[in-house]
Structure 1
Amino acid sequence: MAAKIKSNNKALQQVMGDFRLFAKNFIKIIDNNGESVPFVLNPEQEQFINEMVKYNIILKGRQIGFTTLSLGYMLWSALTKPDTNYLMMTHHNKVTQSLLRRINKMYQYLPHDKYPELFPKKVISNRDEIYFENGSRIQMATAGGEDSISGNTFELIHLSEMAKYPTEQQEEIIATSIPALAKNPNSKIIIEATAMGFNYYQEMFMKAWRGKESVWKSHFYSWLSKAYSSQFKHSFDEAEVWFKEHNQGRRMSFNDLEHDEKILRDKYKATFRQLMFRRYYIETNSLEKFQREFPTTPNEAFQTSNISVFDTNKVVERLQNVIDPLPTNEIYDEIPDILKPYLNKSLFIYHLPKHGIRMYGGVDVASGNGGNTDNSTCSIFDVEGQQMASFYANDVPVYEYAKVINALGRFFNYAFLCVERNSFGTPLLERLRKEHGYLNLLKSKIFNERGKKRFQLGFQTTNVTKSILISDLKEYFEMNQINIECVQTLEEMKIYIDDNGKMGNKRGSGLHDDLVISVAMSVQAMKQGKYYVEI
């Protein structure tokens, strides 16, 4: 036994009242060598227990031990708190059954004979739940299966590997889980996953990670966490042997490091042992898979594959260095009244305009019907390429959006605007020119059937011109000719892909590319470099 327990009430009460002591003294787990050992929390598990709040969302590398932690925590809670319920949900039925077997084994290894009074007996134990004689219950469920949440009240809900749940069900499961939490200060929900691309889980985590009006507390654990030193000891040993075999029997040194490894060494304090493991894993798999399975940062975890149009590393780097929008109270009195309801909700201003500086903007127009429809977007840059503002909303009708764009453009030194004229763009252009008298608009040169040249307002997007549009944006962004501050724009750029010649956002619920288009329109405005008004 990990710690001697005297059979007196005070010592037992102390152990039973503290999960860490309970785990160390009573719970047995199977380690990587297949041996039954006391459950001593690793540093990351300890950190999470210390930092856990009511709403928790975890992004982590593989096999860091949070499912084991929750199983042990649920068992301890159920045994010590009568009439409480707990739920563990997984992405696959086989995983669900495996976890049920693990928690049953934890219960089996408890010292029932020595302390029979401490551990309530099981009354029901089947493929879905364990029910104890003290009235507490631990349920196991699979996402996409029968509804195990509605109508129940839980002290703790753990949604394991949520990123693997059916994409269309992730949001609904969250919406059902929150009302099912027990109405007391001790109830908690834990969402935990390794990254699996772009989905509702990714949106939730990144919003929490950035601290943008989220009730969720984000917890991120990279592959450089201390737990891996012991958890992956065998793999680390294998990697070191492999490296020595290919380097005249010597270990890795600074002179062996490649550029990205030097960054990991200098910025993130990676050890040579960790870097040998990384190189070994990449050799047997791929860099993309390593970054997903063993991320260094959250942005790296959610990177897309090499079909991304924009250099993902540059997008991630920019995301790590964006500035926050100006606070509402600092600029509320400065902006036109029509823009005030949108400020820091749909409209984000990063810099106020300076007198006499030319501004360039791009505008994409949607129906404004709300729901799951596209956004109407606007992105504004100054003549040097610094982003000044961004706007995106899907519930602003075209007639109202024309008022917004008119006010926004005039506020930013009567910005030269490039409007995509496809679909709803045409009526917006007509309203801007005829109703609001907005003169500083991009014009495109076209020829009619007789070969006569004429100009039309806005930019017409076709299969041919879209390729040029995106190519120009890619060049401006990757050559640092524009500085994007809008996080949502950069997130859209991460999922903007070239799928066999068809460019657009990666398909999925809630995924858009409208801000990408408005920034691309801004680049076209900057390329023309015209101004039809005096400022």
Structure 2
Amino acid sequence: MPAKDKLKVTKPSAQEFTTRDAILEERRRCATDFAYFAEKYCKIRNKDGEPVPFKLNRVQRDLLAMIERQWASDRGYVRIVVLKARQQGFSTFMQAYSYWWLKHRSTKQAFVVANLKKVSEALFTMLQYTHKMMPEKMRPKLSKGSVRQMVFSDLDTSIEVDTAGAEDLGRGRTLNLAWLSEVAFWQESTAQKNLQSIIVACPKKKNSIVIVESTANGVSGAYYDLYHRAPGNGFEQFFSPWFYSEDYTDEDYGPDFGVDSTPGELTIEEKELMAEHGLTLGQINWRRGEMLRAETHEDFMREFPATPQDAFQNSGSPLFSPVHLETLRKAAVNPVKRLHYNEADDVFEERKDRQGDLTLFEEPVKGKVYYIGADVAQGTGRGDYSIAQILDEDRRQVGIYRSNKIDPWFYGQVLNRLGRMFNTAEIIIEVNAVGHTAKSRLSREFHYPNLYLRVRDEKVSDEYTDNIGFDTNRKTKPLIISRLQDAVKKGNIIVNCPVTLDEMRTFIRTDAGGLEASPGAHDDTVMALAMANFIHKGKREPLPLDLIEESFLPAY
């Protein structure tokens, strides 16, 4: 920074506080105007290491506006989950805001958690610096705390800075403010428990604050779930794209930069960014430089996203584009019924509590053609689910059966009723491991007439019962997943179930090339949907009515 542009730092003179009324008036303004307090009393170090007033940038002002709006709302407390680009000043804002908030309140407890020890130590150092640079008349009395704790004895207020990793960070605490930094990079084994315990430790009462912030890091995990479940989980999303940072521009470019038919001609992507977000050539030039320094294009998009979709689409290796999945989510319809299987009467029926393992987005229509993809689990009440995905002739998901408490033998009976309920739909059932049990009962006991037969050497084996079902292996799995990818990309499939869409978001290609759910996530709904899509033939004539028992229609 040139010397002439440096901000001159002067501490408030003693004359400003010569009278009690002057002190009280200043304190009142500081207590109600954080931006004023920050610029006048908080000091940060510039690139030369010199103290300068903390003046809020655009991103910090926008976040402050959201905080104040939530404060002023009827509920009166703050819950925000932040998705950000790198180095936009959130740590600086956090420590100054936390200090200001505690300084003007009594009997409050604040907790700041960072992803790494060195980061938490740096944050605590920033807090200490803010306190040190405060004018004596404005500085609360500091008593001795722990290694990373500040205690204001005259206010009975404290702030503690810790590092994520240990289990149950929030257990036994009652907090009023929690600022959780880079949560997407918290230790995976404890991130969900720690995040939840800290949120619970900060009751939803007036003036309480919980702010969770991070750059993106994959399409699963505690932070990913918290961000994508907002606002249904009580949090409000805050996104700050890279171009909101004033420093992210490079004006050192030639007169022909960005001009057509020159070496500096803009790419289609750059032109779209300029048109959509109003970017300058300086910002595009900066972006080019950063992309050259990044290891991969995906790394740049994750750390400097222009949209939330950029951040998560390019974090990790998701198989299904978040952009396309978001389109599906917006077009999804609500369930029309939830049904429970009554074994005694061999029928699906509604219960008074409207709960059930079968969710219908459209009731069966006589004469329509349906396809069912069935994935089979152990039914222990833990782990994987038995899934039946139901597609109609237009590739619309009209229903889903989902249970982790049904054993494979009983599941064969449920599939028999489900298939006949949907006009004797063609059923493709995975026969790996326990799938053989469900398949055997479905075919041999119930003699279900419309089961998928896998092909061997391009011919259907004469012993068709041995070839019923789908064998998922390293050759067939990529095939059905790629077909589902293609259907999603082209908009040829409608998915209504939010669980299915969530599992599609967390379905990834591993570093070893495997296709599976992200750690801690499930992929049962994805596999069942992929199988149903695999056998889908489009509209065709239904089976002869003599194969469909009239008693199955329209009653269940």
* TM-score between the two structures when normalised by the length of structure 1: 0.82
1:44 has 2:62 as partner: yes
Contact 2:332 2:495 in 1 (8 A): no
Q: Work out whether residues 338 and 358 of structure 2, in 8 Å CA contact, stay in contact via their aligned partners in 1.
A: no
Amino acid at match of 1:207: R
Aligned to 1:385: 395
Which residue is equivalent to 1:157? Answer: 178
State the alpha-carbon separation in 2 of the partners of residues 216 and 351 from structure 1: 32
The 10-residue stretch of structure 1 (353-362 or 134-143) with the greater mean CA deviation from structure 2: 353-362
**Structure 1: distance between partners of 2:516 and 2:177:** 36
In 2, the alpha carbon distance for the partners of 1:297 and 1:32 equals 29
* Structure 2 CA distance for aligned equivalents of residues 86 and 444 of structure 1: 61
- In the alignment, the residues of structure 2 paired with residue 272 and residue 411 of structure 1 have an alpha-carbon distance, to the nearest angstrom, of 61
Counterpart Cα distance in 2 of 1:465 and 1:342: 41
Residue 263 of structure 1 aligns with which residue? Answer: 272
Offset from partner CA, 1:243-271 (integer Å, 9 cap, x none): x25xxx33435883323233323344444
Q: Which residue of 2 aligns with 1:98?
A: 122
**How far has the Cα of 1:324 moved from its partner?**
5.2
Distance 1:493 1:205, change over 3 A: same
Percent of residue pairs bearing the same amino acid type: 27
Q: 2:224 aligns with which of 202, 213, 217?
A: 202
Q: 1:463 aligns with which of 459, 474, 485?
A: 474
How far has the Cα of 1:147 moved from its partner?
Answer: 6.0
Aligned residues: 506
Q: Counterparts in 2 of 1:222-233, with a 5 A limit?
A: 222-225=241-244, 228-229=245-246, 232=247
2:89 paired residue among 58, 65, 72 = 65
Paired residue type of 2:118 = K
The farther-off stretch of 272-281 and 289-298 is 272-281
- CA offsets 1:327-362 (integer angstroms, 9 cap, x no match): 35x556999854669979865555555553312221
**2-side partners of 1:503 and 1:530: how far apart?**
38
1:488 Cα deviation from its structure 2 partner: 4.3
Moved more, 69-78 or 525-534: 525-534
Tell me whether 1:236 sits opposite 2:249 in the alignment. Answer: yes
User: Contact 1:91/1:164 (CA < 8 Å) preserved in 2?
Assistant: yes
- Contact conserved, 1:45 with 1:69, CA < 8 A, in 2? no
CA deviations 1:68-113 (Å, max 9, x no partner) are 222112211222212211111111111111111101111111111x
Show the counterpart of 2:528.
518
1:420 aligned partner, one-letter code: E
Distance in 2 between the 1:342 and 1:504 partners? Answer: 38
**2:164 is matched with which residue?**
143
Shift of 1:505: 1.6
1:454 aligns with 2:454: no
Q: What do residues 249-304 of structure 1 show as CA deviations (whole Å, max 9, x unaligned)? A: 33435883323233323344444433332222112213201211112232321235
Secondary structure in 1 aligned to 2:113? strand
Q: Which amino acid aligns with 2:87?
A: Q
Structure 1 pair 390–34 and aligned structure 2 pair: CA distance change class (3 A): farther
Residue in 1 aligned with 2:553?
none
- Contact persistence 1:100–1:127 (CA under 8 A): no
What is the CA distance between 1:485 and its match in structure 2? 4.6
* 1:160, distance to aligned residue in structure 2 (A): 0.8
Report the CA distance shift for 1:125/1:326 in structure 2 as closer, same or farther (over 3 A).
same
Find the aligned partners of 2:413 and 2:462 in 1 and give their Cα distance: 34
Listed one character per residue, the Cα deviations across residues 217-241 of structure 1 (whole Å, up to 9, x for unaligned) are 222222233xx02xx2xx412xx42
Whether 1:288 and 2:309 are equivalent positions in the alignment is no
Look up the equivalent residue of 1:468 and give its one-letter code. Answer: L
User: Could you tell me how far apart the structure 2 residues matched to 1:262 and 1:459 are?
Assistant: 47
Change (3 A) 1:288 1:132: same
SS in 1 for 2:194: helix
CA RMSD across the alignment:
3.6
Q: Tell me: CA distance 1:515–1:71, structure 2 relative to 1, closer, same or farther (3 Å).
A: same
Counterpart AA for 1:236: T
| Residue 316 of structure 1, aligned match among 308, 317, 323 | 323
1:82 equivalenced with 2:100 (yes/no): no
- CA distance in structure 2 between the aligned counterparts of 1:327 and 1:367, rounded to whole angstroms: 29
* Per-residue deviation, residues 416-456 of structure 1 (Å, max 9, x unmatched): 22111222322323444566664332233559xxx854344
What is aligned with 1:427? 437
SS at 1:463's partner residue? Answer: coil
Q: Which residue of 2 aligns with 1:303?
A: 313
| Structure 2 CA distance for aligned equivalents of residues 279 and 478 of structure 1 | 28
Measured at CA, do residues 78 and 426 of structure 1 come closer, stay the same or move farther in structure 2, by a change above 3 Å? same
Structure-1 separation of matches of 2:12 and 2:362: 60
- CA deviations 1:94-135 (Å, max 9, x no partner) are 1111111101111111111xx2xx422211155221111222
CA distance in 2: counterparts of 1:188 and 1:423, whole angstroms: 49
Alpha carbons 2:328, 2:495 under 8 Å: kept: no
Mean Cα deviation higher: 462-471 or 64-73 = 462-471
Say yes or no: does 1:120 pair with 2:147.
no
For 2:129 and 2:141, the matched residues in 1 are separated by 14
Instruction: Specify which of 187, 193, 197 is matched with residue 172 of structure 1.
Output: 193
The one-letter code matched in structure 2 to 1:319 is: E
Counterpart in 2 of 1:273? 282
| AA in 1 matched with 2:144 | I
Alpha-carbon distance between aligned partners in 1 of 2:357 and 2:225, rounded to the nearest angstrom: 17
Question: How far apart are the structure 1 equivalents of 2:307 and 2:470?
Answer: 38
Q: AA paired with 1:79?
A: K
Q: Could you list the per-position Cα deviations for residues 357-387 of structure 1 after superposition, in whole angstroms to 9, with x for gaps in the alignment? A: 312221111122233x122223222223333
Greater Cα shift, 490-499 or 164-173: 490-499
Distance across 2 between alignment mates of 1:519 and 1:8: 68
Distance 1:499 1:71, change over 3 A: closer
Partner of 1:250 in structure 2?
A: 256
Question: Cα distance 1:25–1:437, how it changes in 2: closer, same or farther (>3 A)?
Answer: farther
Distance 1:64 1:99 in 2: 15
Query: Is the aligned partner of 1:16 residue 2:23?
Result: no
Query: Could you tell me which amino acid in structure 2 is paired with residue 518 of structure 1?
Result: A
Distance 1:287 1:433, change over 3 A: same
